[in-house]
């Protein structure tokens, strides 16, 4: 049996991937991740918001304030550095998946 949190170490990549569909605020990102994963990932604010802050600090995201339905919200978007990081992560994931398919006997 595998232990630990299966998404540990992947949250930032998941956030970058979800933001490739366009900018959104934190809660919208949580909803987008749930929808894109077909319900597999029910991330909490305490997981997503620290990842957003780390990615912005690293220059992979930028944020701005917007007013939606009378509420002020911080909207997050990929930067060019974030797009490059996402591309690298996507390639690394594909290589990993190919390797695991070979080890587990799945189709490659």
In the predicted model, what is the mean pLDDT of the chain? 90
Q: Which residues contact 7 (CB under 8 A, 6 or more apart)?
A: 14, 41, 43
Q: Which two tokens stand for residue 53?
A: 């802050």
Dist CA 21 CA 41 (whole Å): 17
At residue 6 the predicted structure's pLDDT band, cuts being 50, 70 and 90, is: low
At residue 25 the predicted structure's pLDDT band, cuts being 50, 70 and 90, is: very high
Q: What is the mean pLDDT of residues 26-40?
A: 94
Distances 107 to 23, 91, 95 between C-alpha atoms, Å: 35, 18, 13
| pTM for this model (two decimals) | 0.84
Q: What is the pLDDT of residue 9?
A: 78
At residue 11 the predicted structure's pLDDT band, cuts being 50, 70 and 90, is: very high
Q: Which two tokens stand for residue 19?
A: 């933001």
Sole residue written with tokens 């996507």 = 90
DSSP H stretches of helix in the chain:
11-19, 26-36, 45-57, 80-104
Contact indicator for 56, 63 with CB cutoff of 8 Å: yes
């Amino acid at each position: 049996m595998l232990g630990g949190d299966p998404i540990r170490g992947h949250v930032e990549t998941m956030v970058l991937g979800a933001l490739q569909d366009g900018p959104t605020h934190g809660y919208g990102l949580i909803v987008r991740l749930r929808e894109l994963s077909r319900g597999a990932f029910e991330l909490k604010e305490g997981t997503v918001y620290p990842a957003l802050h780390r990615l912005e600090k690293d220059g992979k995201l930028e944020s701005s304030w917007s007013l939606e339905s009378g509420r002020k919200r911080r909207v997050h978007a990929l930067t060019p550095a974030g797009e490059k990081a996402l591309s690298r992560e996507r390639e690394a994931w594909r290589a990993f998946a190919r390797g695991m398919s070979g080890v587990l006997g799945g189709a490659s």
